A and B are shown apart, each in its own frame.
Chain A
C-alpha cells in the first residue's frame, strides 16, 4: 500500500500568540515550529499500516525551505521519503491544489491528513483534496482499520459515532484515537538525513481568501472567589449575575 501523509509546520502548542504590523502578521519571533500534532497521528497510523514491508509512506509538505526540520522529523519517525512543494502555504485551498497536482501525477492508495492544523484550524485540506481528486473524503476520523480493498473508519458525529467502509483510494483526516504518536529513535534520526526529500516547484493557483488582520480575545475580568463552603452562593451568582443556569 502506498500512503501519502500531508504534514504541516505549526507553532509549538505552548506558543503565546502575538501579532505585528498593526495586527496583520503573526509574530514568529522566538516561536518554535513543530510537526502538527494531528499529522503525527496520521503518520503513526501510516507507519503501522505499512509495517514489515507492507508498503511505503511518503510525507508531503507545502512550505519553504524552513520547514525541512519538520519534514526530517517525519522521516526520522519512519516515513519512507518526502516531498516538499516549494511555496508559502497561502491557505488550505492553495495547499490542497498543490498536493492534488502532485497526486495526479503520483497516485496513492490512501491519503491521510491531520483533522486540522493547530494554527488555522480549518480542517479543509482533506475535503478539498477529496473534491479535487474526485475521491471520497472523511474529515475527522477516530479509527482506521485497513482491509485489502477497502478500509473501515469510524467518525464522530454529535452525540455518537458512525462506522463507514470506503474503497481505496480515499482521503481521511485523523484525530486522537487513530494511533499514538511515535517518538523517533536514534536509528531513525540517523537514517532521516539520507532519506530522499524531493523539492517540487508549485503550480499557479487562483486566490479565494486572504487573512487581513488578527485579534486576540478580550482579557477576562478578575475571578470572583467563592468560599468552598458556600456553593449555594455560586449557584445563585450563576443564576442571577451570569444568567447561565
Chain B
C-alpha cells in the first residue's frame, strides 16, 4: 500500500499543520507496516522539502514549475490523485485547511475513495474495517465514519494530532504529471497575504472578543494581548455582523471551527452556536462581567469582571511573565 500525504505549502514554506499531517500519516503507515510518501506542489526549495523526512516521510515527490506555482484546486487534485496511483497508496492524508477541503472531495471522486473530512484521531483498524473519528454537528459531537472503499482519503483537523519528530531523512524526487487544459479554467488574479498576523484556523492560541467589547474602537486590547501571546484574533458572530471585525474572524457553528491549545473569550456570552465552534479548544479562559454567562460552564479558567478593567491588567501580567521568562 503506502500512505500519501499532500504537503501544502504557504509561500514556499510548510506550516505546523503539515508536520502534524506527516506525523499522522507516519503513524498510519506504522500501523500497516508501510511507507510514507509526501507530495509537494509549487516551488518549494530542496531543504524545505527534505525537512518532511524529520516527521516520518520516506520519500517526497516534488512537483514544480510555473504552471502549478499557485493553488488551482482542479489541477492540484489531479496531481495528487496521480501521485496516489503511482505510489499505490491506500490512504491519502490532507490537512483540513481551506485548500485541503477543496481537494479532498475531488480526490475522493477521482480515486473512488471514501472521504473522512474533519478527522481528529488516528483511524481504528481491524481486518476489513477502517474507522475514523471526525467532528460532527459543528463540534457538538463526533462521528465514527467507516470507510469501506479500497482507497481512503482523510483530512486532518489542524491541532488535533501531535507533531512527532522521527529524525529520519526523506529522499526527494521530481515528479511530473501531464496536465489537462480543462484543469486550468479557474485563474488566480491576486493573492493577498497578511504576513504580520497569525492565521486563525491553525493558531495555537486564539484571543476572541464579543459584543461585550462595545465597539471596534476597543479591539486594541484584544490585538495587544494576541500579539503578546503570538495568538490569532477572533470574534463572535454579532461582532462580524456589525462590521466591527471581518467575517473571516467569526468563529462558531456558522463561522470557523477552531481547536487551539488556548482559547481566551472576552465579553462573549457563550451561546450554543458560539460554543459549537470553539469547544474543542484544549483550554478555555473566559472573561465576562456576568457570573451567569453560559461560557463559564465550559471554561477551565474564568474571571468574573469588566473586560475594560481586566484586560489591561492581564496584558500587564503577560508582559511581566514574558520579561521574567
Interface residues of B in 129-154 (CB under 8 A from A): 131, 135-149
Binds B, one of A56-64, A101-109, A193-201, A224-232: A224-232
Partner of B254, one of A118, A125, A140: A118
Task: State whether B197 touches A159 (Cβ < 8 A).
Answer: yes
Interface residues of A in 154-204 (CB under 8 A from B): 155-167, 170, 175-177
Task: State whether A177 touches B247 (Cβ < 8 A).
Answer: yes
CB-defined contacts of A111 to chain B, threshold 8 Å: none
Binds B, one of A42-50, A75-83, A206-214: A206-214
Q: How many residues of chain A have a CB within 8 Å of chain B?
A: 83
Rounded to whole Å, the gap between the CB of A180 and the closest CB of chain B is 9
Rounded to whole Å, the gap between the CB of A128 and the closest CB of chain B is 4
Rounded to whole Å, the gap between the CB of B178 and the closest CB of chain A is 16
Chain B residue, CB-CB nearest to A143: B247
Partner of A132, one of B74, B109, B240, B301: B109
Partner of B148, one of A159, A162, A170, A207: A207
CB-defined contacts of B187 to chain A, threshold 8 Å: 164-166
Task: State whether B137 touches A126 (Cβ < 8 A).
Answer: no
Task: State whether A124 touches B104 (Cβ < 8 A).
Answer: yes
Task: State whether A122 touches B118 (Cβ < 8 A).
Answer: yes
Any A CB within 8 A of the CB of B226: no
Rounded to whole Å, the gap between the CB of B64 and the closest CB of chain A is 20
Task: State whether B262 touches A123 (Cβ < 8 A).
Answer: no
Any A CB within 8 A of the CB of B54: no
CB-defined contacts of B202 to chain A, threshold 8 Å: 158
Task: State whether A160 touches B194 (Cβ < 8 A).
Answer: yes
Q: Whole-angstrom distance between the alpha carbons of A182 and B237 in the complex?
A: 17
CB-defined contacts of A232 to chain B, threshold 8 Å: 317, 320-321
Q: Whole-angstrom distance between the alpha carbons of A167 and B191 in the complex?
A: 19
Any B CB within 8 A of the CB of A217: yes
Q: Whole-angstrom distance between the alpha carbons of A7 and B279 in the complex?
A: 27
Task: State whether A38 touches B254 (Cβ < 8 A).
Answer: yes
Task: State whether A157 touches B98 (Cβ < 8 A).
Answer: yes
Task: State whether A157 touches B114 (Cβ < 8 A).
Answer: no
Task: State whether A131 touches B302 (Cβ < 8 A).
Answer: no
Task: State whether B253 touches A13 (Cβ < 8 A).
Answer: yes
Q: Whole-angstrom distance between the alpha carbons of A163 and B192 in the complex?
A: 8
Task: State whether A231 touches B147 (Cβ < 8 A).
Answer: no
Any B CB within 8 A of the CB of A152: yes
Partner of B273, one of A13, A140, A142, A163: A13
Chain B residue, CB-CB nearest to A165: B187
Any B CB within 8 A of the CB of A215: yes
Chain B residue, CB-CB nearest to A207: B148
Task: State whether A120 touches B247 (Cβ < 8 A).
Answer: no
Binary flags per residue of B281-325, CB closer than 8 Å to A gives 1, else 0:
011111000000000111111111110011001101110110000
Residues of B within 8 A of A (CB): 10, 15, 71, 73-74, 77, 97-99, 101-106, 108-110, 112-118, 131, 135-149, 182, 185-195, 197-199, 201-202, 205, 229, 240, 247-248, 250, 253-255, 257, 261-262, 272-273, 276, 279-280, 282-286, 296-306, 309-310, 313-314, 316-318, 320-321
Residues of A within 8 A of B (CB): 11, 13-17, 19, 37-38, 92-93, 96, 118-128, 130-132, 134, 136-140, 142, 152, 155-167, 170, 175-177, 206-217, 220-221, 223-229, 231-232, 234-239, 242, 244-245
Q: Can you report 24 A-B residue pairs in the complex whose CB atoms are below 8 A from each other?
A: A19-B141, A118-B138, A119-B137, A127-B102, A127-B104, A128-B109, A136-B185, A137-B106, A142-B248, A161-B248, A167-B185, A176-B250, A209-B114, A214-B142, A214-B143, A220-B299, A223-B302, A225-B301, A234-B285, A238-B285, A238-B301, A242-B283, A242-B301, A244-B262
Counting from the closest, the 8 A-B pairs by CB-CB distance are A127-B105, A228-B305, A208-B114, A159-B199, A139-B102, A131-B109, A160-B193, A209-B114
